Amino acid sequence: MKKSFFNLLLLMITSVPASSQEDLIVNIDGRETISLNGTWNYIIDPYETGFYNYRYKERDENDPEAYWNRPVVKKKTDRVEHGYQAPYTLQVPGDWNSQRDVFKYYEGSVWYQREFDTQDLAENERAYLYFGAVNYEAHVYLNGKKLGSHKGGFTPFNFHIPKKILKSENNFLVVKVDNKRHAQEIPTLNTDWWNFGGITRDVKLVVVPETFISQYELHLSQDQNIQQAKEKESFELEGRIQLNRAAKQSEVRVEIPELKLTKSFPITGDELSFNFEVKNLDLWSPDNPKLYDIVFSLNGNQINDKIGFRKIETSGKDILLNGENIFLRGISIHEEIAQDKRRAYSREDAEQLFGYVQDLNANMVRLAHYPHNENMTKVADSLGILVWSEIPVYWTIDFESEKVLDKAKQQLKEMVIRDRNKVSVIIWSVGNETPVSPTRNQFMKSLIDQAKVLDDTRLVSAALEVGYNEEGINHIDDPLGEYTDIVSVNEYLGWYGGLPDAAQSAQWEVAYNKPLFFSETGAGAKAGYHAEKENRWSEEYQEWFYKEQIAMMKRMPENYSGMSPWILTDFRSPRRNHPVYQEGWNRKGLIGNEGNKKKAFYILQNYYNELENQ
């Protein structure tokens, strides 16, 4: 990878200081693991009794009343005031809100506990505990010893387990999970989605060599002219290998068996950058979602992955994929299975959601408003669906706080590291509908700079707001648009202002010569409620809205490059409280919470069919 010294220095400056978390390990599925999914015990602890004593001081590590310690009764006079046993159980992965009625609106601390056995580690092996995500703050303890803590509800983390702690039998694992909202966190107090708590993604014990490849990336070189490379059928690949610690006189191998290609590189430190030429490479696209089996190895220890190769860039008003103009026929998605009122987490969940996407004939999804589980990007890779991935810098966070900015940078870093080998991801988004101010502008620009340093192979954007005008001229001039690669805006003409036919006279002026993308537009409707089109909440109103929006989109300036309407399915939100039409649901879905497609679904589907056939 051809990173300049300046870029590397900037990365060091803008990165969040190291915490108790080990460097993130990527591609857990490509390694030796033991699943810790399944049935866990729990204790609801709204007063955090297991964490603080009665003076509200954090308990000593060996305090028998600390909930991370195994409760032991040796004689009948012993006093024990906590315990883990049936029927107090929850399934992992999964949110707690959907599993028991007592958790429906619960925000606070819950202690998760389970035991597990494992084989003794060899002398040249080490073990880690890996969590796909825990919402929001996690404290992890094994056999009474704290391994570390992590904040951020949608990104993975892992902790090294010292050999003196790990046992072959009856390991006592405890995780304190806290999903309380705070003004100084990312996201902040006010959102428009359900605050699902719990261990919402996979938990695994990972066994690796003492020295191993913790992170890697492999992609097309950004420096090459993609059209010339296609004509010559010769492409330059570049990549990077990160080890967990420095190696001495070792060798890294990169293999692409299908292309009969093997490259070897010496490594003497903990990091290696490389590049090489490859012939007859089949580029990935929505029409051709080609993935190659890739093998990375260090001293014979292998990691297998499936990686596709493509180039995404902009040229003036156009978005180019592999050198060709592409229109983004998108749809926004929340990480939720509506009919079960729960967080999505499995490959089956991803296949259900992407099945709807394919029915719509969309070629792109906006995964809002946070990084979704890794099954979503894996399935997108395999199906050829382009992805916008976002961190939850949402609405009115504290833009003046350096600590909040550090938390946003850490979540951005974890999102990029996890998915930078996912070829489907073409856009990193650093936020949604943040109010314009000089402080906010600087906050968001620093995130854009960080994203570009972490990964210069993708576009960077954010969902901006529109300056509406009573004369019907709508100005897209958010100052952040100067720094993003595409100008993305959310607009709701006909829902939050006026009626759908207001779109007929709407005009648009864009301050930037960049691709214009409508990251949201939509209207609410309760599935099955039919009335005249003027009736709010009817399917006919939503249908009318989409007809007017699409007619307006057809009159957009030349830089109009795509849209991802809001939203694929209805989703849970405590902000939506109409007792008849909402009942705790955001009803802007094109599909109702029971899986029924609304009339507007077919309006958008027809539009996307027309676009594909042009």
Pairing of strands 318-321, 312-315: antiparallel
According to the model, what pLDDT value does residue 3 have?
A: 44
Please, which residues bridge with residue 89 across strands? 41
- The residue-averaged pLDDT of 70-90 equals 95
DSSP assignment of 258-292, as one string? GGTEEEEEEESSSEEEEEEEEES----BTTB---E
Q: Do the beta carbons of residue 7 and residue 222 sit within 8 Å?
A: no
pLDDT at 533 over 60: yes
pLDDT at 390 over 70: yes
pLDDT at 17 over 50: no
Q: Show the 3-state SS of 528-572.
A: CCCCCCCCCECHHHHHHHHHHHHHHHCCCCCCEEEECCCCCECEE
pLDDT at 404 over 50: yes
Helix 374-383 × helix 402-419 angle, to 10°: 40
Task: State the pLDDT confidence band at 467, using cuts at 50, 70 and 90.
Answer: confident
According to the model, what pLDDT value does residue 13 have?
A: 35
pLDDT at 372 over 50: yes
According to the model, what pLDDT value does residue 566 have?
A: 98
pTM: 0.95
Task: State the pLDDT confidence band at 472, using cuts at 50, 70 and 90.
Answer: confident
- The residue-averaged pLDDT of 528-540 equals 98
Task: State the pLDDT confidence band at 335, using cuts at 50, 70 and 90.
Answer: very high
Q: 90-94, 103-107, 157-161, 248-252: which has the minimum mean pLDDT?
A: 248-252
According to the model, what pLDDT value does residue 602 have?
A: 98
Reported as a single tens digit per residue, the pLDDT across 194-244 is: 999 999 999 999 999 999 999 999 999 999 999 999 999 999 999 999 999
pLDDT at 21 over 60: no
pLDDT at 413 over 90: yes
According to the model, what pLDDT value does residue 465 have?
A: 81
pLDDT at 435 over 70: yes
pLDDT at 7 over 50: no
According to the model, what pLDDT value does residue 550 have?
A: 98
Question: Could you identify the residue written with the tokens 């499936």?
Answer: 306
According to the model, what pLDDT value does residue 22 have?
A: 60
Specify the amino acid at residue 488. Answer: S
CA distance 455 to 287: 25
Q: For residue 337, count other CB atoms closer than 10 A to its CB.
A: 21
Task: State the pLDDT confidence band at 19, using cuts at 50, 70 and 90.
Answer: very low
Closest CA to 348 of 373, 367, 325: 373
> Which residues lie below 8 Å from residue 570, measured CB to CB, with a gap of 6+?
338, 527, 585, 586, 587, 588, 589, 591, 592, 593
According to the model, what pLDDT value does residue 471 have?
A: 74
Task: State the pLDDT confidence band at 473, using cuts at 50, 70 and 90.
Answer: confident
pLDDT at 20 over 50: no
